[in-house]
Structure 1
Amino acid sequence: MKIDILTLFPEMFTGVLGTSILKKAKEKDIVEYNIVNYREFADNKHQTVDDYPYGGGAGMVLKPQPIFDAVESLKQGESKPRIILLCPQGETFNQSKAEELSQEDHLIFICGHYEGYDERIREFAVTDEVSIGDFVLTGGELGAMVMVDSIVRLLPGVLGNEDSPVLDSFSTGLLEHPHYTRPADFNGMKVPDILLSGDHRKIEEWREKESLRRTFLRRPDLLEGYQLTEKQRKWIMEWENEK
């Protein structure tokens, strides 16, 4: 996968992309990162990328020309990259979107700044508008970092255990079950006996039940579109009766 990131602050990405899983993915040649300062595409000697909004108002607006030219320079042959605009008005990013984008060969992220984008960038330059949540950031850089991390870890060969991304919270539609490691007794706080039993069938059932319980208690909204089995319905009825 190739990932291009258009930003006015390329130095922000150095530590993130050069550390941990994202670094390993690059070293394995699974992903290629390319950070582009779109100020370099400005068609004026001062490399200005913003201007006052028509009609007046507070703040400055990103001009279309530098963004359009930067995007065009990154397109390769007949390929059609997904061009993602980081924007508080976009669809909310989630695991499903990460899985969708992880199937692409080429992603281009556009990180905004100032008051906003010229509307023609939204209408004609991008394929997706995405937000990482209902809050406002100074620019799109942090949102791009979050999305890249979430997407790259899903690529085959990136994680040591291929089951890890499949079993993560949200990937299954539920929150992940609790985890424990040694020691089995830490200051009187003990690991559940079932996990020490060696009975893998019962352990898997315990994990399934705890995953569902945690979702039921913490994120019941996730169950609205989830297809429950008969066994899972019985568990939920038990917990509702306990309430």
Structure 2
Amino acid sequence: MIFDVLTLFPGLFASPFADSILGKAVDRGLIRIGVHNLRDWAEGRHKVTDDTPYGGGEGMVLKPEPVARALADLKSGHPTSKVLLMTPQGKPFRQAVALDLAAEEGLIFVCGRYEGVDERVRALVDEELSLGDFVLTGGELAAMAMIDAIARLLPGVLGNRDSSLSDSHADGLLEYPQYTRPAEFMGMRVPEVLLSGNHAAISAWRRREQLRRTLQRRPDLLEQAELDARDRVMLEELRRELAADPE
């Protein structure tokens, strides 16, 4: 997949995509990340990309012309790429959104800055996305997080192709607890079922713990999660347990 990023601060992207899993994916040609300086499409000696807002107010607004020229150039090279605007006003970025975007051939991330982009830029993008209900100094960190979340879903990027299937949110629930050696640490033991070698029992325990953890930490997710009859029985049992012993 081709990831293109349009930003005023391309240097921010050097380290996050040079190391670890994404760095290896780039080296192996599984993904391509192009970071583009918006000023390259600005005109005039000073390459101005922002201006004061009409009607007054604090801060500066990114001008529409450089963004429009940049998107036209990037789309000419990759016409099927989907254009995404990073904005706190956008649709919340979720795992389901990452899965949908992982099916695209290419993505172009437009990183807002200052007071945001000129409203007319919105007519040039396919989707507006938000990392959460908070405001960052710019869209760069949001774009990095989204690229990471999407890239790890692509074939070959993770060492184990099934790793992402058990992630939190992969099936609408939080992930079950994970343990490794030693079997006992500071008086805390790994649950015996995980040492039993009984794969059916381990699978049942993990599903129950997924439901327990989601019920305790993110009960809102249960409203949209796909639960079968067995899940619902376990969930009712867990509700009774938690009601009897909230701790």
TM-score range, shorter chain: over 0.9
| Structure 2 counterpart of 1:143, one-letter code | A
Query: Which has the higher mean CA deviation after the structures are superposed, 12-21 or 221-230?
Result: 221-230
Q: Deviations over 1:176-201 (max 9, x none)?
A: 01111111122321111111111111
Cα 1:115–1:77 change in 2 (3 A) is closer
Percent identity between matched residues is: 52
Gaps of at least 5 residues in structure 1 are none
C-alpha separation in 2, matches of 1:238 and 1:90? 38
C-alpha separation in 1, matches of 2:186 and 2:55? 66
SS at match of 1:110: strand
Superposition pairs for residues 117-128 of structure 1, below 5 Å?
Answer: 117-123=117-123, 125-128=124-127
1:228, CA displacement in angstroms? 2.1
C-alpha separation in 1, matches of 2:91 and 2:69? 25
Superposition pairs for residues 24-43 of structure 1, below 5 Å?
Answer: 24-43=24-43
Cα 1:78–1:108 change in 2 (3 A) is closer
Query: Which has the higher mean CA deviation after the structures are superposed, 226-235 or 97-106?
Result: 226-235
Q: What TM-score does the superposition give when structure 2 sets the normalisation length?
A: 0.95
In 1, are the aligned partners of 2:39 and 2:47 still within 8 Å (CA)?
A: yes
SS at match of 2:237: helix
| Structure 1 counterpart of 2:142, one-letter code | G
| Structure 2 counterpart of 1:22, one-letter code | L
C-alpha separation in 1, matches of 2:107 and 2:78? 14
Superposition pairs for residues 155-170 of structure 1, below 5 Å?
Answer: 155-170=154-169
- 1:97 and 2:97 aligned: yes
In 1, are the aligned partners of 2:2 and 2:32 still within 8 Å (CA)?
A: yes
Superposition pairs for residues 186-201 of structure 1, below 5 Å?
Answer: 186-201=185-200
**C-alpha RMSD of matched pairs (Å):** 1.2
1:241, CA displacement in angstroms? 1.9
1:240, CA displacement in angstroms? 2.0
Q: Which residue of 1 aligns with 2:115?
A: 115
- 1:152 and 2:138 aligned: no
Q: Deviations over 1:121-141 (max 9, x none)?
A: 012x10010110111111111
Q: Which residue of 2 aligns with 1:50?
A: 50
Q: Deviations over 1:66-117 (max 9, x none)?
A: 0011111111467321101000100010101111111111110011111121
| Structure 1 counterpart of 2:147, one-letter code | V
Q: What TM-score does the superposition give when structure 1 sets the normalisation length?
A: 0.96
Q: Which residue of 2 aligns with 1:204?
A: 203
Q: Deviations over 1:157-183 (max 9, x none)?
A: 000111111111001111001111111
Superposition pairs for residues 59-78 of structure 1, below 5 Å?
Answer: 59-76=59-76
In 1, are the aligned partners of 2:172 and 2:226 still within 8 Å (CA)?
A: no
- 1:6 and 2:38 aligned: no
C-alpha separation in 1, matches of 2:225 and 2:63? 43
In 1, are the aligned partners of 2:63 and 2:117 still within 8 Å (CA)?
A: yes
SS at match of 1:207: helix
Gaps of at least 5 residues in structure 2 are none
